[in-house]
Amino acid sequence: MPSRDTPSVMQAPIAGLLAWLLPGLGHIYLGHRQRGLILLITVTITFWLGIAIGGARSTIDPVQRKLWFSAQLCAGGHTFAALAIGGDRTVPLDESDAVSIPHWRSADIGIHYCGVAGLLNLLIILDAIARADGTDPKRRTKTQPSGAGS
């Protein structure tokens, strides 16, 4: 929850950064604990299920799958953890791996799961920023009763 010392101007960027680092953490920071936990569980399961299906080395690949990797980067900390698990891609594992990583259908499914998880987290980041902004039109009070002034 934001402290009273945190200026309201800083709440939106902090919530967005926390939401990028770990999905749902921005909402938890803003005091929306239940929503944050649901978002955390949903994106985490989706992302790591993609890794389980396709394997970390073939699913998170910034060299051969740049567009999908940019979507996966929106998952923040999960992507960096998967990169660490996947190992160094500059040194091939053996002679046959020097040309390319074998193309498997399961790798495609894993890529899509991780990409969708990242894009979902992009929406979560934007939602956390909007909730921290405090200029929600639903919260504004009406100055005139409905139907008046016509």
pLDDT for the residue 78: 94
Give a yes or no: residue 147 inside a domain. Answer: no
Give a yes or no: residue 81 inside a domain. Answer: yes
pLDDT for the residue 68: 93
- Give pLDDT tens digits for 71-106: 999 999 999 999 998 866 555 555 555 444 555 678
pLDDT for the residue 14: 95
Give a yes or no: residue 143 inside a domain. Answer: no
Sites in the chain below the pLDDT cut of 70:
1-7, 87-104, 135-150
pLDDT for the residue 98: 46
Q: Element (H or E) spanning 132, and its range?
A: helix 105-133
pLDDT for the residue 148: 54
Domain containing 40: what range? 8-89+102-133
R_g of the chain, CA atoms, integer Å:
20
Please say whether the beta carbons of 49 and 113 come within 8 A: yes
Please say whether the beta carbons of 26 and 13 come within 8 A: no
Please say whether the beta carbons of 12 and 21 come within 8 A: no
pLDDT for the residue 142: 46
pLDDT for the residue 87: 67
Structural domains of the chain, count = 1
Give a yes or no: residue 113 inside a domain. Answer: yes
Sign of the C-alpha dihedral computed for residues 111, 115, 116 and 121 taken in this order: positive
Please say whether the beta carbons of 82 and 60 come within 8 A: yes
Q: Which of 60, 10, 26, 17 is nearest to 131 (CA)?
A: 26
Give a yes or no: residue 49 inside a domain. Answer: yes
The pTM for the full model equals 0.75
